Amino acid sequence: MTKLSVNINKIATIRNSRGGESPNVVEAAINCQKFGADGITIHPRPDQRHITRQDVYGIKPIINTEYNIEGFPSEDFINMVLEVNPEQVTLVPDGPNVITSCAGWDTIKFQDYLKEIISIFKEKRIRTSVFVNAKIEMVEGAAACGTDRIELYTEDYAVGYKTNKQKAILPYKLAAKRANELGLGINAGHDLSLENLEYFAKEIEKLDEVSIGHALISDALYLGLENSIQIYKRLL
């Protein structure tokens, strides 16, 4: 079954809006795992507007599933990941002023750069995933970089699902097929929701993991965190 990694950035956003420790990010990570999440995802940014460096280190000891740290591979980010030693690191091309991830890597243009970064994490036996658009050439470029997995950027699918889900899913099926041929694991994330997740998971062959934050935490406001996680799990 495809694993569900819960991105808890939005928990930190709520906390930071008032300061203090409520809601508590570490407690949220504990509860997400207790309620059935297969992993915890965080995406620390240089301005610490949601997940802070303290959060990154504080969450590690309570992980009993998998810890996935996303981010742009700056020197500070690389050093932090090496110190924390999570199960997975996901490399995204976001600059410091980006509100949320909005594009995948150009794995051809940045191939040498990514290859060097990935080799650093591989020496520490940290599984690497590279955030890519659903384009075959980007998947092939990612494989040439030496990554273990790709994470398919799914905003285009989420937008297109509302009008023509068969058309929206096609590039992702083709990209996933090529990834499977190249021996890459497949993750996916961005704007996956209760509306569109089930169809995506059924159509994408050998989908290892989805990372969901905004939609799931928003649903939890109405449905409760435990119930929301269980509903998402059932869709997978």
Q: Which residues are catalytic?
A: 43, 70, 190
Residue 69: HSE in the Cβ half-sphere, 13 Å Cα cutoff = 28
b or e along 99-121 (b: 16 or more beta carbons within 10 Å of the residue's beta carbon)? eebeebbbbeebbeebeebbebb
- What sections of the chain are H helices per DSSP? 9-18, 25-34, 53-59, 75-84, 111-123, 136-145, 155-161, 165-181, 197-203, 214-223, 225-235
Residues 166 and 143: their CA atoms lie apart, in Å, by 27
User: Helix, strand or coil for residue 126?
Assistant: coil
Residues 165 and 77: their CA atoms lie apart, in Å, by 37
Contact 8, 41 (CB under 8 A): yes
Residues 41 and 35: their CA atoms lie apart, in Å, by 15
User: What's the token pair of residue 143?
Assistant: 């494989």
Residue whose entry in the numeric block shows the structure tokens 């956003």: 13
